[in-house]
């Protein structure tokens, strides 16, 4: 269900949902939920299953129940676009939990911060905690380990013959970890392994370290 990792003398647990739990801070990091995206696409005629809306909230509740964090930090793109019917579901979900909530705003977060403040959610452009820098877009800053999202990272795994599968993943370099997209119906972007990186794929209810067989020149990815 989870896989441990130690960074800068701190302990973290990677969850199969794509969330990351910071043990010492009792903080749950979640990126790219994209609430409202399903309703947005359905409004314009896309054939998206309605149960994908509830799935986001069910998964959020499951991971919160698992770790019981003091704080939840959403790492950007919490809502996909402007307010729609899913905002009411989000308000109901917020009132159902006791954790403090912080939103590190992303490029899709266009809803007024005042709406978040009305339900006691703090909105900020970045968060600095000890030697860790929490942002939406991947960022390199001297002296800090960066947690980010935005990319929706995935890894392509090949089997015998021409069989292959693309899985969402945690993607870690020496100074950065990019979290997988948490939300349903978000899509993903395949990343090539770089020198010294570590990849942890999400498969069912497991987080699996992926052996890196081919080392390629480091790239800095933007989406």
Q: What is the pLDDT of residue 170?
A: 97
Spatial distance between the Cα atoms of 221 and 163, rounded to a whole number of angstroms: 26
Question: With bands split at pLDDT 50, 70 and 90, how would you rate the model's confidence at 80?
Answer: confident
Helix axes 51-67, 86-95, angle to 10 degrees: 20
Strands 206-210 and 198-203: antiparallel
Mean pLDDT confidence for 39-43: 53
Spatial distance between the Cα atoms of 4 and 6, rounded to a whole number of angstroms: 7
In the predicted structure, residue 83 carries a pLDDT above the cut 70: yes
Q: Which two tokens stand for residue 19?
A: 């969330």
What single-letter DSSP state applies at residue 180?
P
Determine the straight-line distance between the first and last CA of the chain, rounded to whole angstroms: 29
Sign of CA dihedral 94, 97, 98, 99: negative
Spatial distance between the Cα atoms of 42 and 47, rounded to a whole number of angstroms: 7
pTM score: 0.89
Question: With bands split at pLDDT 50, 70 and 90, how would you rate the model's confidence at 169?
Answer: very high
Residue at token pair 């939406």 = 136
What value does the mean pLDDT of the chain take? Answer: 88
Q: Please tell me the number of Cα atoms within 13 Å of 77 on its side-chain side.
A: 22
The CATH class for the domain spanning 2-151 reads alpha beta
Q: What is the dihedral of CA 144, 149, 152, 157, to 10 degrees?
A: 30
Where helices occur in 71-192 by DSSP H, the ranges are 86-95, 113-117
Spatial distance between the Cα atoms of 12 and 72, rounded to a whole number of angstroms: 14
Question: With bands split at pLDDT 50, 70 and 90, how would you rate the model's confidence at 220?
Answer: very low
In the predicted structure, residue 204 carries a pLDDT above the cut 70: yes
């Amino acid at each position: 269900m989870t896989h441990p990792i130690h960074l800068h003398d701190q302990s973290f647990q990677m969850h199969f949902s794509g969330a990351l739990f910071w043990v010492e801070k009792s903080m749950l990091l979640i990126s790219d939920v994209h609430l409202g995206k399903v309703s947005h696409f359905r409004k314009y005629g896309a054939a998206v299953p309605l149960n994908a809306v509830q799935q986001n909230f069910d998964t959020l509740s499951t991971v919160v129940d698992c770790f019981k964090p003091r704080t939840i930090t959403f790492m950007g793109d919490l809502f996909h676009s402007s307010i729609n019917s899913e905002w009411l579901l989000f308000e109901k979900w917020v009132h159902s939990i006791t954790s403090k909530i912080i939103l590190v705003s992303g490029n899709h977060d266009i809803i007024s911060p005042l709406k978040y403040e009305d339900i006691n959610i703090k909105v900020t452009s970045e968060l600095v905690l000890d030697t860790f820098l929490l942002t939406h877009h991947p960022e390199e800053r001297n002296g800090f380990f960066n947690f980010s999202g935005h990319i929706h990272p995935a890894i392509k795994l090949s089997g015998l013959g021409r069989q292959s599968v693309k899985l969402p993943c945690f993607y870690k370099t020496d100074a950065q970890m990019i979290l997988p997209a948490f939300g349903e119906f978000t899509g993903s972007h395949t990343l090539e392994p770089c020198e010294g990186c570590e990849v942890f794929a999400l498969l069912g209810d497991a987080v699996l370290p992926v052996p890196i067989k081919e080392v390629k020149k480091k790239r800095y990815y933007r989406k």
